[in-house]
Amino acid sequence: MQDTKGKVIFSLLAGATAGIVAGLLLAPETGDEARADIKESAGKFNKDLARLLKEGKARLDSFTGKPATTGHQQADRTAADDLLNSMKQPTGPGANI
């Protein structure tokens, strides 16, 4: 049996290149419009992905028994931990000795 991996990869790259070239030549909009559409689609995808990840984490936490926390709750918890840690550090004359 011959090793055909190289031929397959080359064929895939050639097909993808031909598709890209055909898409650019037949596109009904200018490059600026296409880039704006791609940027908008990427932003929507990013928001949707972030929402799905947040929902998935909440479901996972519900299965493991952990209470679900929101971003605000996590920020508040971090701020409270920082405040407590700063209160534990000695202050006053000779504190850094």
Residue 91, pLDDT above cutoff 70: no
Whether residue 33 lies inside any domain: the answer is no
Whether residue 62 lies inside any domain: the answer is yes
Could you tell me which residue, 96 or 3, shows the higher pLDDT? Answer: 3
CA distances in angstroms from 83 to 46, 48, 87, 91, 93, listed in the order given: 33, 34, 6, 14, 21
Could you tell me which residue, 11 or 80, shows the higher pLDDT? Answer: 11
Residue 50: domain span: 41-85
**Which amino acid would we find at residue 32?**
D
The stretch 41-63 carries a mean pLDDT of 87
Whether residue 17 lies inside any domain: the answer is no
SS3 of residue 93 by DSSP: coil
| pLDDT for position 14 | 94
Q: 3-state secondary structure string, 51-77?
A: HHHHHHHHHHHHHHCCCCCCHHHHHHH
Whether residue 50 lies inside any domain: the answer is yes
| pLDDT for position 11 | 92
Under the banding of pLDDT at 50, 70 and 90, the label for residue 63 is confident
| pLDDT for position 15 | 93
| pLDDT for position 45 | 87
* Number of domains forming the structure of the chain: 1
